[in-house]
Amino acid sequence: MLALVLRYAKGRGPFTTAEARERFGIDVEAVLHELEREELLVRGELRPGGTEREWCDADVLRRLRRASLAALRKEVEPAEQATLGRFLPSWHGIDRRATLREALVPLQALALPVSLWESEVLPRRVPGYAPAQLDQLCASGEVVWVGAGLDRVAVYFRDDAPVLGQVAAADRPEGEVHDRLRAALESSALFWFDLLAESGLETEHALPALWDLVWAGEVTNDAWQPLRAGRRYGVPKPQRRPRRFSRRRATEITATQGRWSRTERLFAAQQPDRRALAELLLERQGIVTRDGVRAEGIPGGYGAVYGELKALETLGLSRRGYFVEGLGGAQFALGGAVERLRELRPREGDEPDALVLAAADPAQPYGAALPWPKRAGARAARVAGAKVVLLGGEPALFVERGGRSVVSLREPDESWLRPVLAALVEDVRSRGPKKRLAVERFDGEPVTESDAMPLLVEAGFLAGPRRAVLRP
């Protein structure tokens, strides 16, 4: 009887116990359970819309799963790279409403310039963002920042840090002062003056060494305030007060506020969980490609997470396919990301939208998942302070750090320069009365001698003898 039931199972897809009973005219439930124990049959809710558990031959189920995955891969034709340039800002929720927690979840374990976090990354994702919101999450211990090289930090939710692992940082500093600070922080977190007392160091020696440890990823703080300090490495000058207990106290932000602690307790695991890294990449990028992973500097590159991405596909948590042309065949995506990519394909008659992004923003794909246009040469880069204007998902204009030089990323033409410059003007003016932009060179030429000067004036710039100035 075992052989008869097994032959029946091999000749069809999933079936119910009632269907097997009807086929043989007797109750075969005991036989089905025996075949399950021998791992020849699989039981579960296998068909969409099923109302009860079903049986299926193990080999048949594997063939069905492979066929289903193949059908899903063929479902999406590859989109043009410009569509990815429209998709990624949408996936990151640029200029849409989100809470700070929601915005920070996919940004974990990503090393970004300190200045970028509060000037670009968070305000673009959290409308009405206020520094007090981040201070509250840090003070509660829910969120922690870790140095990742000079003037770069990564952010973690404390309970996710052990599985995600520490990002690459500056080399470990060596010296007696550094060792004394490590020893002082060995047992507990300390405020600045307690740290000085415990280590026996003077301020002028301790402060630079402490920030060496920060950028090496060894020490962190329970506040974001030290990262905002204007004179981060300078020794704070004590204010003169007429009396010791005068009610007038220093109010400026200093590089020593908050409690300092070692980061080694955050990363208890010896190695990061590669499954967790793969899931985070899918959440952050939506569509994961080889170049996109390489740009994030993950140790081991794409190979470190490729196996886990394949496993997530087998579990039905992601899809593999050729979603964006020119980026290799081994691309993985969340189901929702594939649908969003489809929706953002340009339609005939659509006017391309202009969008201004920080060049180093993870929502800006050029220089990471996508290459810069050849016209950019070596002048376009993902650096703090630089801006990119996208038009319909394609890079149109690159504003170098400081704004003195502007580079067109396609052949200059009035038809696209007008909307792009209008978007740039709107972005600068939206940042408050203290922001201005003074352009001195356009495509390597003095801006006053370039063909773009009339268009800049038309957009709202003021013509000067050597520059075009945009005032709030």
DSSP states of 15-65: B-HHHHHHHHSS--HHHHHHHHHTTSEEEE--STT--S-EEEEHHHHHHHH
Q: Supply the pLDDT for residue 30.
A: 87
Per CATH, 274-343 and 372-470 having the same topology is answered no
- Rounded mean pLDDT, 184-192: 93
Range among 42-46, 59-63, 445-449 rated most confident = 445-449
Residue type, 287: I
Q: Supply the pLDDT for residue 151.
A: 94
Q: Supply the pLDDT for residue 4.
A: 87
263 CB-near residues (< 8 Å, 6+ apart): 146, 166, 217, 218, 219, 220
- Rounded mean pLDDT, 312-327: 92
Q: Which helix (H) or strand (E) holds 427?
A: helix 414-429
Confidence tier at 72 by pLDDT (50, 70, 90): low
Q: Supply the pLDDT for residue 309.
A: 96
Q: Supply the pLDDT for residue 237.
A: 58
Q: Supply the pLDDT for residue 74.
A: 59
Q: Supply the pLDDT for residue 234.
A: 59
- Which CATH architecture best describes the domain 372-470? 3-Layer(aba) Sandwich (3.40)
CATH of domain 274-343: 1.10.10
- Rounded mean pLDDT, 330-349: 90
Average pLDDT, the chain: 90
Confidence tier at 97 by pLDDT (50, 70, 90): confident
- Rounded mean pLDDT, 77-90: 93
Q: Supply the pLDDT for residue 246.
A: 59
**pLDDT beyond 80 at 252:** no
Rounded to two decimals, the pTM is: 0.80
CB distance 448 to 465 below 8 Å: yes
Distance CA 289, CA 72 (A): 18
pLDDT tens, residue by residue, 135-149: 999 999 999 999 999
Dihedral sign from CA coordinates of 62, 67, 73, 76: negative
Share of the chain above pLDDT 90, in %: 67
pLDDT tens, residue by residue, 373-405: 999 888 899 999 999 999 999 999 999 999 999
pLDDT tens, residue by residue, 258-281: 999 999 989 976 788 999 999 999
**Residue 391 is encoded by which pair of tokens?**
């038009």
pLDDT tens, residue by residue, 2-28: 888 899 998 888 888 888 888 888 888
**pLDDT beyond 60 at 236:** no
- Rounded mean pLDDT, 31-39: 87
Phi/psi at 440 (nearest 5 deg)? -105, -30
Domain boundaries, the chain: 2-74, 96-233+255-262, 274-343, 372-470
- Rounded mean pLDDT, 326-334: 92
CATH of domain 2-74: 1.10.10.10
Q: Supply the pLDDT for residue 36.
A: 86
